[in-house]
Structure 1
């Protein structure tokens, strides 16, 4: 009887489509999930890239302008553009799962210089991630650097510039460049099913477009808390 039943099942074709669908459903779901995950990863890459470029661009434009003097960059200006980053990156929680470093790479003669020196004059940071995979890969400076127009807060000399080997960014003589580095832990939709833990890394830079006062970064009254790189906040 069992043999006859088995032969009957082999000849049965009424539910063939349903059986084929049941067999293929796990494969289709797995491949579909992979497509969604990789599309989300690509979208995260694009968003991080755009955030880095927007931050560098905005940092190269802001400041207190006057027709009688050069533009002063203030701590409140930096905090304002970081507020823009928070809004722009809210969908991916960048400040929770990543770290942003904004560096002012300058090649401008200061009053205490004998000759012009290219240096990281100051750095400001945003984000909770810490460690060698998240802090600046291309040079650091002190938290007080650039806060006064003195040799003690001159920053860190970077004669070769900032960036990866073969793609170093240098400031033109007499100007500054806003250099942004972002490191972000990608947050997958399906855990580690399709991909291991991945860190997205992007850099961007824009030259300062106005006639900026490069002597220091100002903090006039009412003063604000600078976003220095010893802070790890969202």
Structure 2
């Protein structure tokens, strides 16, 4: 008991010191903000991990599907624009729950190491690229476009068997430093890149710089593919190519 306290207050002070009613509620009130923040952070991180897993799987599935498709009655498989559109739409459906093509960009590249009719020796090049997604159409949004080169001209590369539409030489392969992939001699690799703008469940402050999610996937072409060009026959059916100068969902 503090010296000098009036005698009439001393009984009240002793009762207050011995009173334990509401202690648990008071402790809970002090710890609630910390518990709430920890819980919200856990929910946000779990959602971020789930979105990363989905995008990673979509990239791998798309590369796998695009490395298999093709059609022809002959032993050499021709790849058509409609085949590419089909696998891109499959990726769009897979990512519909997270708005993949609204909030992101998918780039499919054919990295080939073959000798075309206009070559004197095999050349590794990005013969063609096809894209889907709305992001990347402005200069401030450019990081959502291909990070590893492009097949130029964007609208026509790979659409015929001419040197003008041969695509872009890529002797160093594609991918991040230390994990680059190259096409084996005489064949090609389907390389998929996905860039996605993550939408936080709670707040962007909880995930910091994780706004843009970036994943790649690649598969070697596993059939005897005709690498001359992408075909778009009028009757089989003709379709609008998903070239990378277009930004659609």
* TM-score band, normalised by shorter chain: over 0.9
How many positions carry a matched residue from both structures? 233
Counterpart-to-counterpart distance in 2, 1:109 and 1:24: 69
Residue in 2 aligned with 1:224?
239
Larger Rg, first or second structure (1 or 2)? 2
Matched, 1:159 2:165: no
Counterpart-to-counterpart distance in 2, 1:50 and 1:43: 11
Uncovered stretches (5+) of structure 2, i.e. residues with no partner: 1-7
Matches within 5 A, 1:12-27: 12-27=19-34
Q: Which runs of 4+ in 1 moved over 6 A?
A: 1-4
SS in 1 for 2:143: coil
Structure-1-length-normalised TM-score: 0.94
Cα gap change, 1:10 to 1:165, in 2 (>3 Å): same
SS in 2 for 1:178: strand
Give the CA RMSD over aligned residues: 1.6
CA deviation after TM superposition for structure 1 residue 216, in Å: 0.3
Counterpart-to-counterpart distance in 2, 1:2 and 1:188: 55
Uncovered stretches (5+) of structure 1, i.e. residues with no partner: none
CA deviation after TM superposition for structure 1 residue 9, in Å: 3.7
SS in 2 for 1:220: coil
Structure-2-length-normalised TM-score: 0.89
SS in 1 for 2:214: strand
Residue in 2 aligned with 1:54?
61
CA deviation after TM superposition for structure 1 residue 132, in Å: 2.7
CA deviation after TM superposition for structure 1 residue 169, in Å: 0.8
2:189 pairs with one of 177, 182, 199: 177
Q: In the TM superposition, what whole-angstrom CA distance separates every residue of 1:46-101 from its partner, at most 9, and x where no partner exists?
A: 111111100000000011142x2311111111111111111111111111111111
Residue in 2 aligned with 1:31?
38
Q: In the TM superposition, what whole-angstrom CA distance separates every residue of 1:78-136 from its partner, at most 9, and x where no partner exists?
A: 11111111111111111111111100000111111111111100000011110331111
Residue in 2 aligned with 1:149?
161
Counterpart-to-counterpart distance in 2, 1:208 and 1:181: 16
Matched, 1:69 2:75: yes
Counterpart-to-counterpart distance in 2, 1:25 and 1:38: 20
Counterpart-to-counterpart distance in 2, 1:90 and 1:10: 61
1:87 pairs with one of 62, 68, 93: 93
